């Protein structure tokens, strides 16, 4: 696919997807969501991808859904939104479940679907000027983009209700305090710090990272014994894989492990 609304590159095990509609606040429409879905499939299938970085061009991370494009659809809006959510939700599902960690750098405002994109990521680093808002009900809409699944799990029901019902914008420091983001850094350090953590993860045990993601996604739906059985299966698979064998050998030999990725 030739991308128009996102840019994509892979170098040194690090894939990078940049939202690229800066003049529109990187707002999401159906064609952009299709491109994001294609990126998610490529990252899920390509063994060379050890980590995915998601960032955005311009001064805003993502304004959420493109309300102008919604208005332009008029009587076709229902079918268009149902198709758009197929592409967008499929993207977020793959980001949450693929083996490679997703590191998202939030510059400026993340609203609506942009907020959801950050929430389905594994590591969220925000610039000091970043802000987060649900925004859906302000336009008479209900939340989508994985937010009703991730937000209550990350920040609790009461806080999720507040953000969804009032659309109150929270800044980067409050987002850090609530556990919505992993780190906050100076705006001018955001790009460098993002690539630093991406480089660390790209050199790590990708298969074990995939296990972490699968286990944490399942934990709220399983009882204790079911979850422990999944843990036993995942740790066994990793122990007999190349990265597990290398990790144990490196520990015993008192050296840094050289993880290779996919078994």
> pLDDT of 148-194, one tens digit each?
999 999 999 999 999 999 999 999 999 999 999 999 999 999 999 99
Residue 136: which pLDDT band, with cuts at 50, 70 and 90? very high
- Do both 127 and 236 map to the same domain? no
Q: Give exposure, 229-261, as e/b (b: 16+ Cβ within 10 Å).
A: ebeeebeeebeebebbeebeeeeeeeeebebeb
pTM of the model: 0.94
- Do both 192 and 237 map to the same domain? no
Q: Is the pLDDT of residue 241 over 70?
A: yes
Half-sphere exposure of 155 (CA within 13 A, CB side): 21
* Beta pairing partners, 150: none
Over residues 74-92, the mean pLDDT reads 91
**Is 221 in the active site?**
no
- Do both 114 and 229 map to the same domain? no
- Do both 248 and 175 map to the same domain? no
Is residue 261 included in any domain, yes or no? no
| Active-site annotation holder among 55, 89, 122, 243 | 89
Residue 82: which pLDDT band, with cuts at 50, 70 and 90? very high
**Is 144 in the active site?**
yes
Q: Is the pLDDT of residue 85 over 70?
A: yes
Q: Is the pLDDT of residue 71 over 90?
A: no
Instruction: Report residue 171 as tokens.
Output: 């800044």
- Do both 113 and 28 map to the same domain? yes
| Active-site annotation holder among 144, 187, 237, 243 | 144
Q: Is the pLDDT of residue 37 over 90?
A: yes
| Closest alpha carbon to 241 in 210, 215, 219, 218 | 210
Phi, psi of 223 (to 5 degrees): -75, 170
Question: Taking all residues of the chain, what is their mean pLDDT, rounded to a whole number?
Answer: 95
Task: Please tell me the total count of domains within the chain.
Answer: 2
Q: Is the pLDDT of residue 74 over 80?
A: no
The residue segments making up the domain with residue 227 are 206-253
Is residue 138 included in any domain, yes or no? yes
- Do both 110 and 230 map to the same domain? no
- Do both 24 and 64 map to the same domain? yes
pLDDT value of position 130: 98
Residue 76: which pLDDT band, with cuts at 50, 70 and 90? confident
- Do both 183 and 212 map to the same domain? no
Residue 262: which pLDDT band, with cuts at 50, 70 and 90? low
pLDDT value of position 230: 96
Over residues 15-42, the mean pLDDT reads 97
pLDDT value of position 69: 85
Residue 217: which pLDDT band, with cuts at 50, 70 and 90? very high
Q: Can you tell me the distance from the alpha carbon of 107 to that of 84, in angstroms, rounded to the nearest whole number?
A: 24
- Do both 197 and 210 map to the same domain? no
Residues above pLDDT 70, as percent of the chain = 99
In total, the chain counts a number of residues equal to 263
Contact (CB, 8 A) for 146 and 120: yes
Is residue 263 included in any domain, yes or no? no
Over residues 36-63, the mean pLDDT reads 97
């Amino acid at each position: 696919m030739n991308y128009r609304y996102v840019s994509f590159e892979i170098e040194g095990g690090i894939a990078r997807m940049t939202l690229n509609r800066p003049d529109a606040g990187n707002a999401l429409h159906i064609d952009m969501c299709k491109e994001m879905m294609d990126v998610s499939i490529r990252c899920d299938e390509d063994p060379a991808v050890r980590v995915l970085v998601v960032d955005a061009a311009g001064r805003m991370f993502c304004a959420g859904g493109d309300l102008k494009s919604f208005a332009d659809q008029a009587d076709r809006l229902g079918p268009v939104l149902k198709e758009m959510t197929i592409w967008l939700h499929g993207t977020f599902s793959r980001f949450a479940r693929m083996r490679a960690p997703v590191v998202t750098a939030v510059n400026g405002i993340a609203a609506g679907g942009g907020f959801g994109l950050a929430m389905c990521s594994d590591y969220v680093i925000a610039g000091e000027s970043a802000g987060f808002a649900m925004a859906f009900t302000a336009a008479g809409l209900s939340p989508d983009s994985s937010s009703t699944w991730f937000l209550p799990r990350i920040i609790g029901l009461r806080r999720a209700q507040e953000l969804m019902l009032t659309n109150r914008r929270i800044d980067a420091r409050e987002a850090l305090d609530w556990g919505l983001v992993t780190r906050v850094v100076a705006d001018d350090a955001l790009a460098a710090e993002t690539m630093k953590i991406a480089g660390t993860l790209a050199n790590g045990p990708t298969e074990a990272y995939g296990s972490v993601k699968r286990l944490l996604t399942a934990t709220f739906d399983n009882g204790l014994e079911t979850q422990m059985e999944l843990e036993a299966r995942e740790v066994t698979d990793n122990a007999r894989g190349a990265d597990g064998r290398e990790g144990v050998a490196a520990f015993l030999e008192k050296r840094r492990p050289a993880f290779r990725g996919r078994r």
